[in-house]
Each structure stands twice: as C-alpha cells, then as structure tokens.
C-alpha cells in the first residue's frame, strides 16, 4: 500500500508538490486565523521550500523519480537523432527477434519436456552397433518378446514402456470408402498410467490391454485427432475403425496437450502394442523402449546396474533367438551380438526431426546470436560517439556534484530504453518468424506439428536477452562516461583517441562476426545450389505418382489392366508401375550372390518396375534392353553402373546372372537367378545426398517357385501427364481407380517433383535463412562502419584542415582517415576466417560437395565485406577531402 503510494506519487511529482504546498499554505493560514502575527507565523514555519523538499522525499520513491527523469532524458536523446535511433532500433529488433524466434524452435523441439509427469525420469534404451558398410551406428528398435523379458527382469526397480514410431497409416473410420491417412502409434498399456495422463473422454489403455491381438481391439484417440477429425463429438466412444483387416473400437480420448513422444509429429491414434502384426516375432525389432525410474530413485547410482541387467537379459534373448541368427556364420553371429546397451535422456521426447534439425537449429541460433552481437556492437559504438559528444555535459554534471552512479544509471537507462523498444518490435518478429520457419519444414507427406507456446520459458529467455543487450550496449559507454575527469574535459583536452579506440574495437568485432556469418551462409547456399542442381538422371516433368494399395494383394494382371485403363484417361500420356517411387520413404536392400558364392559385404538395393517405366521416367539405357511384358521376376534384371562396378568389375554384365539372397543366406540352397538384360546410369534411389549405391531393377510381374504369378499388395502408378500441373488430374485418376472396384485404392497422391523437393527441405531452409542473416549482418556492419568513419572525420576536422593547409596530399588525407579502419577490417577478417574454419568443422555434415577450404567460399565473403566497406567509407572520405582548411582555421 505504502510502496504503491510512493511509486504513484513518484509518477505524479508535480501533483504531489501542489498538494504539499496546499497543506503547508493551510497551516500558515490557520496560524494567522488563530490570531498570530502573519510575519511571525511565516518566520516560525521556516523556509517552505525546504519543508516541501523534505516532505516530497518522504512521500515519493526517489529512485523512481530519478529513473523516470533519466528515461525521459533518454527518450529525448533518442528522438534527437531520429535516423540513427531508428537504425539502431531496427537492427536490435531484428537481432533480438531472430534470437527469440530460434530459441522458440530449439526449445520446442529439443529442450521442452513432454507434458507428462516424471519426464525427468524417462530414458530411451538404445544400443551401439556396427551398422551398414561397417560404420558405427545406433539401433533404437527392439523386438516385443525381448521387451517383455527385460520389463519383467527389472520391474522392481524401473518400468519399461514400449512405443512405436508414428506411422502414417491408411485408416477407414466407418464405411469402406473413406480411407484416410492418420499417424498411428502402438504403445504398451503401461504408458498412459506411468506418464500420469488422464483421459479427456472414456478411458485410456492400461496394462490389461497388453493381452494380445484378439483380446484388446481397442483404440485411444489423441485429443488433437478428436478435435479436428470428430469436432469433439462425445459419441465417438464405441465407434469402430479398420486398419487393413483389423477392427478396433474407440474407447477413449487422450489428454489435451499430449500428442505422443515423437516431437514434431502429432499422433492421431494409440493402439495396444500386441495388436501389431510385428509384435509376436522374435526377430523383428520395431518399437522403441523407454525406461522410467521409480520416483525417488537416484539415477546416478541406479542406472548403471539397470543397464548391465538389461544388457544381460537382452543378450541372452538374442543369443537364444534362433530366427535372429539363422544361417549366419560364427563370425557374423559374434558381430551381431556385439552391442552395447546405452541410455539416453528422453524427457523432451525423441524424433527424427530432432536428429535432422539439431545441428541446423544450432547453426541458426549461432547466426542469430552473431547478428544480435553485430547489432549490439554497432549500437554501442553509436552510443560511444554520442557519449563522447556529451563528454563536456558529463564533466559538468560531475563537477556540480552528480554521483557517478547516477551517470551510469543515466546511460544504462538509455540503453535499456533502446533494448526494451527493440524487443517489443522483436517480439512481433519472433511471433511471426518461428511458425514461418516451421511451416517451411513441413511437407504434405510428412506434416510437422509442433506447438510453439509463448509461455514463461520464452518470456524468461526474452528478459535475459534484454538484460544482456542492456549490459552489452550500455556498460562500456557508461563506465567510460562516468570515468570522465571534469577538469580535462572542461578544458576540452581529453584524450581524443580513446572513444575512437573503443569504436575501432567494435568495428573489428563486427567484421569478425560478419565474416563468420557470411562464410557460413555462403557454404550453406553453395551446398543447397549444388544439391538442387545435381543431375538427377531422370525427369520429374509432369509426373504424377499414385501410391496405391490392394488390401489382400492383387495379381499383377489386375495392376496392369488398371494401368492400361489409366492410359485411356484424357490428359494421360503414359503410365508405368513401380513398387514404390524413387526418393520416397521406402528402400529395400538384399545381399547379392554371384555364381552361388556367399554374398559379399556390400548389399544392393532394388526396385520392381513395369516395362516402359524407364521411358516414362526418361531414364536412358547404357546398354542392353528394357523389360518386355514377358519378363518376370525372378528371371531378368536391369542394373545400374555402380552395380556393374561392384559385382562385375571390368566385364560386360549383359547376360551374366546373380542371385539376390533372402536374409538369412543358406549355402547350397537353390537361389533363383536373375539374368542381366540391361544397364542404366546411376540415379539417386533414396536420397540426393547419399553416394551412388548398387541398385538392380526387377520386373513388376512376379512368379513364385511353381511359376505361378504372385500377388502385389502395394505399388505406385507413375503417370506422365500432358498438363503443366499434374496434380490437377489427381482427383480424376483417384476416382477412376476407385470406380473399377478391383480392390485397388489410391492411398497417397504426390508428384515426383515434390519428392525431389522434399529431399532439399532442410538445405533450402538453411540456405534461405543463412542468406537472410548474411544480408542483415552486412547491412548492419555497413551502417556501423559508416557511422564510425563519419564520426572520426568530424572529430578530426581540425587536424585534417591543418594538414591540408600545410600541403598534405589528398592520398595522405585518405590514408589518415581510412587506414585505422581498414586495419581493423583486416584484423576482424582474419579472426573471422579462423572462427569460420572452427565453426564449419562442427557443421560439415550439413554441407554437400563444398568444403570450408574451397577458394570461392572464402573469396565471396571477403569480396562482399570489402565492397560493403568501400561503399560505407566513401561518404566519409569524400567529406574529409572536401574539408575547406580556411574555413576550419577561421573557425578556430
């Protein structure tokens, strides 16, 4: 109460003074009215001014009053230099906004704990293995029988939870016709209770639902799915849904903010673990295993024994799992069993998005921080210049008794004002930029859903940032200004170089950071351009892809007839079939046996294709021929050049045979042979960034051991259209296939161009944002350079005038004005190169075919910086040269 009145009195100092005056006045009048002599009454009262001062300081918060006065003063200072203030404000706002925006993304994706209880006690079980091509790798996937054994073994110390990846699955909600994609997660029944989650409706899965496929055909909707798919209809309980040939009953809706443990993906549907067809198999590792410590258990001491116990149980299971190691040699079994179980903290969830973007976000954070630092250096040198101009004012204040603390407060107030105003602007920028960046990561096939709440975590970060900025901006100028020696300053003879030294330091710093930003962004832009312009080896032009499923599978003849039907649709030029699209999410490899020998260490990937697929994709043949309708698999194969180099080096492969061996390999068993009929160039199979792999293509028509045709459960129609936007035909073709009622249904429509674009999402984003940051950094640094040089020329006008008067050549003047600054640029630039090399090592994995040591990667930032420096120094140099010595000397 009294604090409040003191604060509000401080806000209204004038009104308070009037009130006090009125009361004091009333006192004297009362005295006179009671019969005292007016002069005596006035004299007895004493000086009213002193009484008012004393009263005022009792009733108003003095520190606040001086703060308000300083703020008003700072505001006027900002208003006096409108252009510089606006530049400072804008550059700071961009810096702060970028930092907060990147923080929101990093926090939401990587740091923010899942909305569950006990997230700090949650760990992921993983194991270090020797992966494909002998590289060390980590395997996060576990077989359900192994999981059950481990859960049982440690149940007294910790709980294990099984959670599968969210999988985009075709779901039929009610009738047979409306099939939709929804992300489905299989979870062990212990998940909901252990996470402390409460249903929004109905009930959640419990450990009792782990019984098996027939016993618990229950499904839990996520709140999100219930909201957008069912409009929060409470009658959703008890409804059934179908996945493949399984039926599930909806028994409940999850809590509002829980979207699964996979950050970046919103789960629609939770199903019991054991309803998956993968669950019963000893050799199928398919779900994650989380470990949750019991409350109160000390992780430092409990984790290691748990790890050893779990590793022993899992090792025993895998060693005894006959289907896991069937057909392996002794050495292979030893290598297979040689794994180390490790725990990872999983309180913030786990996802591929985190893995893919951890480094990219780190880099974006670094770039944003650098831009902010550049802006701070810029504004600090601007304020140093202003403070130097106010050196006499400061000296006067000190000499009439202003406390030095008060002076520091004055300057800190001004920087706080700048920082707060900038952060208000920056908040708008951050509010817009974080969702914008997230939307760029999105692709229709792989939607990214991440909530970006602006809560206390973001606010706290913002306040911390403001504090940092205030200190960076104000502390140095404030200390400098308060250290002013009044006598020297008032005489006009304070060391004129000291503010310039500070500003030169700021220039060097700016240039170093700016170079780093430019260097990194040129690496990212070059990576993206090289990736985007990389020759594909096939055409994406007007290609529509219809990913199609056939519930129980259909004979190739049905697929071929459907393709034939599609060819007759107006707008369609040609149609071919492949098992799955290139650069999609599917890749399958198998070991290759030549002449019956055991397979070598290098596997080959494959794709089944119909005749004309090569011509529809515009892939040329190097030698041999395309498949004919009479070819079938096994029997014929077309291979790529890497396949030839790997398995038939130095030979003409046409007519040779090889056998893809199913895993496990059984020596001596009859392996059906594929005869190579054609060779095609290397084309990217699964990713644009990966090196060329050995790939073989087999005919779409498959036959089994008895030469009877096998059924095909899913395939992709590759449709070459004659319209510019092939998606325009999507609805027509989808309906066309549905109307044939032959069991085929389109589950997803995309274009080959989109699949190629999806490959470069991360690189595109990084390149775009890095270029943005580079442009901002260059602009801000240019403005800073301009300001410092202009200030220098203004300060040294006398010196320049005298030099000119005594006949100094123009080149000498130019050197005088610019030498220091260019030395600083050189110094900053070399520091920037060193920083750049250091930083680029950390992000090498994000580059594509570029190296930090490439000449043009260093040349571009250098050139850009020098150009900026030239443009920024030109006005100051011209002004220096236009100095009229007579005018200067006359003014002296």
Rule CB under 8 A: which residues touch other proteins? Answer: 1-2, 5-6, 20, 22-24, 26-27, 29-31, 34, 44-48, 50-51, 54-55, 58-59
Q: How far is the CB of 23 from other proteins (least distance, A)?
A: 5
Of residues 36 and 485, the one with the C-beta less far from other proteins: 36
Q: What angle do CA 85, 87, 93 make, to 5 degrees?
A: 100
Structure tokens at 605: 């990937």
Of residues 5 and 628, the one with the C-beta less far from other proteins: 5
Residue 845 DSSP symbol:
G
How deeply is 177 buried, as exposed, middle or buried, from its count of CB atoms within 10 A (0-12, 13-18, 19+)? Answer: exposed
Q: How far is the CB of 43 from other proteins (least distance, A)?
A: 10
Of residues 65 and 70, the one with the C-beta less far from other proteins: 65
Using CA atoms, how far residue 835 sits from 195, 828, 829, in Å, is 44, 10, 10
Q: What angle do CA 196, 201, 205 make, to 5 degrees?
A: 50
Of residues 7 and 871, the one with the C-beta less far from other proteins: 7
Using CA atoms, how far residue 130 sits from 268, 665, 856, in Å, is 34, 19, 37
State the residue for tokens 């604090």. 3
Of residues 10 and 87, the one with the C-beta less far from other proteins: 10
Of residues 59 and 485, the one with the C-beta less far from other proteins: 59
Of residues 26 and 557, the one with the C-beta less far from other proteins: 26
For residues 46 and 22, the answer to whether their CB atoms sit within 8 Å is no
Using CA atoms, how far residue 842 sits from 363, 835, 847, in Å, is 9, 11, 11
- Phi, psi for 543 (deg, rounded to 5): -100, 120
Q: How far is the CB of 64 from other proteins (least distance, A)?
A: 14
Q: What angle do CA 540, 543, 548 make, to 5 degrees?
A: 125
For residues 163 and 188, the answer to whether their CB atoms sit within 8 Å is yes
Q: Which residues pair with 122 in a beta bridge?
A: 292
For residues 554 and 743, the answer to whether their CB atoms sit within 8 Å is yes
Query: Residues for the chain: how many in total?
Result: 892
Q: How far is the CB of 50 from other proteins (least distance, A)?
A: 7
Q: Which residues pair with 158 in a beta bridge?
A: 293
Q: How far is the CB of 405 from other proteins (least distance, A)?
A: 24
Of residues 23 and 884, the one with the C-beta less far from other proteins: 23
Contacts of 449 (CB under 8 A, 6+ apart): 224, 259, 264, 265, 266
State the residue for tokens 């970006």. 452
Of residues 1 and 708, the one with the C-beta less far from other proteins: 1
Q: How far is the CB of 59 from other proteins (least distance, A)?
A: 5
Q: How far is the CB of 409 from other proteins (least distance, A)?
A: 24
Residue 671: other Cβ atoms inside 10 A: 17
Q: Which residues pair with 284 in a beta bridge?
A: none
Of residues 49 and 806, the one with the C-beta less far from other proteins: 49
Of residues 55 and 561, the one with the C-beta less far from other proteins: 55
DSSP per residue over 355-383, as a string?
HHHHHHHHHHHHHHHHHHHHHHHHHHHHH
Residue 822: other Cβ atoms inside 10 A: 16
Of residues 65 and 754, the one with the C-beta less far from other proteins: 65
Q: What SS3 class is residue 79?
A: helix
Phi-psi region of 627 (alpha: psi -120 to 50; beta: other; left: phi over 0): beta
């Amino acid at each position: 109460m009294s604090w409040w009145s003191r604060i509000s009195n401080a806000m209204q100092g004038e009104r308070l003074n009037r009130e006090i005056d009125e009361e004091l006045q009333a006192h004297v009048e009362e005295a006179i009215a009671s019969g005292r002599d007016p002069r005596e009454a006035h004299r007895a009262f004493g000086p009213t001014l002193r009484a008012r001062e004393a009263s005022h300081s009792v009733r108003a918060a003095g520190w606040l009053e001086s703060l308000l006065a300083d703020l008003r003063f700072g505001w006027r200072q900002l208003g006096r230099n409108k252009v510089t203030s606006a530049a400072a404000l804008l550059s700071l706002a961009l810096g702060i906004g970028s930092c907060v925006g990147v923080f929101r993304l990093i926090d939401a994706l990587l740091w923010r704990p899942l909305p569950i209880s006990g997230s700090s006690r949650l760990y992921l079980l993983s194991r270090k293995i020797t992966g494909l091509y002998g590289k060390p790798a980590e395997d996060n996937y576990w077989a359900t029988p192994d999981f059950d054994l481990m859960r049982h073994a440690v149940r007294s110390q910790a709980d294990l939870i099984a959670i599968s990846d969210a999988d985009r699955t075709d779901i039929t909600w009610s009738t047979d016709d409306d099939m939709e994609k929804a992300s489905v997660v299989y979870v062990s029944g212990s998940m909901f209770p252990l996470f402390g989650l409460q249903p929004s409706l109905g009930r959640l899965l419990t450990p009792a639902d782990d019984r098996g496929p027939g016993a618990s055909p229950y499904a839990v909707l996520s709140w999100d799915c219930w909201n957008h798919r069912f409009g929060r209809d409470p009658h959703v309980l008890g409804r059934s849904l179908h996945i493949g040939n399984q039926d599930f009953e909806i028994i409940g809706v999850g809590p509002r903010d829980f979207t699964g443990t996979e950050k970046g993906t919103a789960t629609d549907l939770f199903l019991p673990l054991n309803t998956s067809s993968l669950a019963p198999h000893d050799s199928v590792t398919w779900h994650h295993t989380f470990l949750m410590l019991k409350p109160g258990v000390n992780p430092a001491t409990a984790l290691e024994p748990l790890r050893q116990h779990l590793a022993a149980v899992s090792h025993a299971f895998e060693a005894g799992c006959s289907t896991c190691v069937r057909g392996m040699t002794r050495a292979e079994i030893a290598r297979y069993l040689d794994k180390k179980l490790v725990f990872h903290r999983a309180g913030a969830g786990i996802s591929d998005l985190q893995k893919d973007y951890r480094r990219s976000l780190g880099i974006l954070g670094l770039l944003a921080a650098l831009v902010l630092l550049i802006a701070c250096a810029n504004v600090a040198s601007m304020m140093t210049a202003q403070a130097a101009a106010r050196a006499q004012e400061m000296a006067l204040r000190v000499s009439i008794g202003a406390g030095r603390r008060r002076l520091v407060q004055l300057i800190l107030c001004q920087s706080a004002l700048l920082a707060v105003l900038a952060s208000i602007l920056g908040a708008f920028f951050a509010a817009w930029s974080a969702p914008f960046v997230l939307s760029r990561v999105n692709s229709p096939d792989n939607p990214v859903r991440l909530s970006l709440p602006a809560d206390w975590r973001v606010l706290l970060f913002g306040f911390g940032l403001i504090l940092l900025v205030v200190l960076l901006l104000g502390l140095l100028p404030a200390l400098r200004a308060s250290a002013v020696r009044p006598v020297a300053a008032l005489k006009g003879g304070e060391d004129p170089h000291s503010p310039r030294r500070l500003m030169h330091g700021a220039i060097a710093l700016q240039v170093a950071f700016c170079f780093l930003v430019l260097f990194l962004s040129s690496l990212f832009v070059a990576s993206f351009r090289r990736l985007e312009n990389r020759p594909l080896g096939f055409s994406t032009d007007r290609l529509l892809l219809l990913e199609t499923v056939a519930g129980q599978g259909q004979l190739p003849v049905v697929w071929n007839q459907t393709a034939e039907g599609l060819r007759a649709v107006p707008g369609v030029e040609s149609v071919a079939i492949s098992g799955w699209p290139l650069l999609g999410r599917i890749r399958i490899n198998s070991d290759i046996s030549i002449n019956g020998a055991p397979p070598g260490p290098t596997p080959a990937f494959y794709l089944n294709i119909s005749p004309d697929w090569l011509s529809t994709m515009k892939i040329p043949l190097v030698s041999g021929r395309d498949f004919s309708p009479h070819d079938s698999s096994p029997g014929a194969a077309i291979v790529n050049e890497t396949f030839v180099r790997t398995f038939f080096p130095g030979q003409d492969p046409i007519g040779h045979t090889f056998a893809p061996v199913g895993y496990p390999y059984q020596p001596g068993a009859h392996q059906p042979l594929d005869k190579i009929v054609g060779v095609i160039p290397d084309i990217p199979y699964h990713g644009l960034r990966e090196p060329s792999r050995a790939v073989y293509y087999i005919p779409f028509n498959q036959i089994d051991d008895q030469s009877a045709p096998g059924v095909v459960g899913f395939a992709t129609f590759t449709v070459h259209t004659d319209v510019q936007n092939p998606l325009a035909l999507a609805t027509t073709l989808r309906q066309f296939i549905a109307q044939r009622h032959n069991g085929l249904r389109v589950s997803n429509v995309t274009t080959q161009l989109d699949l190629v674009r999806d490959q470069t999402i991360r690189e595109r984003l990084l390149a775009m944002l890095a270029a943005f940051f580079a442009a901002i950094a260059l602009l801000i640094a240019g403005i800073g350079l301009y300001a410092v040089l202009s200030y220098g020329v203004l300060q040294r006008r006398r010196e320049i005038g005298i030099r000119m008067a005594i006949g100094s050549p123009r080149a000498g003047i130019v050197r005088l004005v610019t030498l220091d600054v260019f030395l600083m640029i050189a110094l900053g630039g070399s520091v920037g190169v060193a920083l750049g090399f250091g930083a680029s090592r950390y992000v090498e994995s994000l580059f594509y075919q570029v190296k930090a040591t490439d000449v043009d990667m260093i040349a571009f930032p250098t050139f850009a910086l020098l150009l900026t420096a030239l443009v920024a120094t030109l006005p100051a140099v011209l002004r220096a040269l236009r100095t009229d010595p007579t005018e200067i000397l006359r003014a002296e």
